[in-house]
Chains A and B, each alone.
Chain A
Amino acid sequence: MKSAVVVFPASNCDRDAAVALEQVTGNKPHMVWHADSEIPDVDLIVLPGGFAYGDYLRSGAMAALSNAMRDVIEKAQKGVTVLGICNGFQVLCESRLLPGALMRNAGLKFTCRGVGLEVTETQSVFTRKYDSGQRVTFPVANGEGNYTADDDTLDRLEGEGRVVFRYAEGENPNGSARNIAGILNEKRNVLGLMPHPERVCDPLLGGTDGRALFESLLEGLG
Chain B
Amino acid sequence: MKARVFVTLKNGVLDPQGKAIGHALNGLGFSSVGDVRQGKVIDIDLHESDAGKARAALNEMCQKLLANTVIEKYEIELKA
Is the CB–CB distance between A104 and B65 below 8 Å? no
Chain A: how many interface residues by the 8 Å CB criterion? Answer: 19
- Cα A101 to Cα B14 in complex, Å, equals 13
Inter-chain contact B70/A100, CB cutoff 8 Å: yes
- Option from A65, A100, A103, A105 in Cβ contact (under 8 Å) with B65: A65
A101 touches B68 (CB 8 A): yes
Check if A108 sits within 8 Å of B16, measured CB to CB.
yes
A197 is an interface residue with CB less than 8 A from chain B: no
Contact B20 A108 (CB under 8 A): yes
- Which DSSP category, helix, strand, loop or mixed, fits chain A's interface? loop
Contacts of A108 in B (CB 8 A): 16-17, 20
Number of interface residues of B (CB under 8 A): 10
A57-B65 in contact given A106-B14, A108-B16, A108-B17 (Cβ < 8 Å): yes
> Which of B20, B66, B70, B71 is within 8 Å of A57, CB to CB?
B66
- Closest chain B residue to A150 by CB distance? B70
- B65 touching A101, Cβ below 8 Å: no
Task: Decide if B13 is an interface residue (CB 8 Å cutoff).
Answer: yes
How far, in angstroms, from A39 to B68 measured CA to CA in the complex? 26
In the complex the two chains form, is A61's CB within 8 Å of B65's CB? yes
Is A94 part of the contact surface with B, judged by Cβ < 8 Å? yes
**A contacts, CB < 8 Å to B:** 57-58, 61, 65, 93-94, 99-101, 103-108, 148-150, 175
What are 29 sample pairs from A and B whose C-beta atoms fall under 8 A apart?
A57-B66, A58-B68, A61-B65, A61-B68, A65-B65, A94-B68, A99-B70, A100-B70, A101-B68, A101-B70, A101-B71, A103-B13, A103-B14, A104-B16, A104-B17, A105-B16, A106-B14, A106-B16, A107-B16, A108-B16, A108-B17, A108-B20, A148-B13, A148-B14, A148-B70, A148-B71, A149-B70, A150-B70, A175-B14
